[in-house]
Homo-oligomer: A and B are copies of this chain.
Amino acid sequence: MTSHPAVHIDYPDWVEDIDWTRVYSSDLERMQLAITVARVNVERGTGGPFGAAVFESESGKLVSVGMNSVVRFNNCTLHGEMVAFMMAQQRVGSYTLKSPALPAHELHTSCEPCAMCLGAALWSGVQRVVCGAAREDATILNFEEGPVFPESYKYLEDRGIEIVHNVMRDEARAVLELYRSKSGKIYNG
């Protein structure tokens, strides 16, 4: 075999419109960004209705965003949270965001993570996960969330990760509805 595949993941051009330099002080400001990323992803046709962002918890500095990129890159692993983790780790140059040399990091995601993303949250090194829409909101659109159980969240909490649910849930759910109204592709049918 002469050639092997390679995977390249980058942001769509519209991330330039994000304010990367401001301070995101509150959960509402941080979640608003995650939801905006989800919404713009749908409006620009670059992916599914899910967005996420990684912040430094104390400073409110934006480290990365992530938008669902499954269809854009033919890659089932590229949920919004996964892209946010990958890009954050690229930026800080570490395979974990939790190290003595780094400030605490947290993830804001426009929808509760699927089984894959919840597992990745544990490996990512974020110390807090804040969720917008709920699992049921996604499953109404026939998006599968996979094997996530109450014990799954407890497993992370037992390892020191704070989980917060239902932050701006209505606004986050509205993006799911927008996607449905545009007959967007349901890639995990």
**A interface residues, Cβ below 8 angstroms from B:** 1, 4-11, 15, 20-21, 64, 70-71, 73-77, 82, 85-87, 89-91, 93-96, 114-120, 122-125, 144, 146-147, 149, 151-152, 155-156, 187-188
Contact = CB atoms under 8 A, between A and B. Distances in A.
Contact of A122 (B1, B7, B91, B146): B146
A144 to B, nearest CB: 7
14 contacts: A5-B64, A5-B87, A7-B8, A74-B93, A74-B94, A75-B86, A76-B96, A76-B120, A76-B123, A76-B125, A114-B119, A115-B115, A115-B152, A122-B147
List the 3 closest pairs (A to B, CB-CB), nearest first.
Answer: A116-B119, A115-B119, A5-B90
Contact of A15 (B4, B8, B21, B70): B4
Most buried by B among A87, A120, A149, A151: A120
A11 B3 CA distance: 11
Given A74-B95, A77-B123, A116-B120, A8 B5 contact: no
A20 B116 CA distance: 29
A66 to B, nearest CB: 11
Contacts of A64: 5
A149 B71 CA distance: 30
B90 A120 contact: no
A10 B114 CA distance: 26
A149 to B, nearest CB: 6
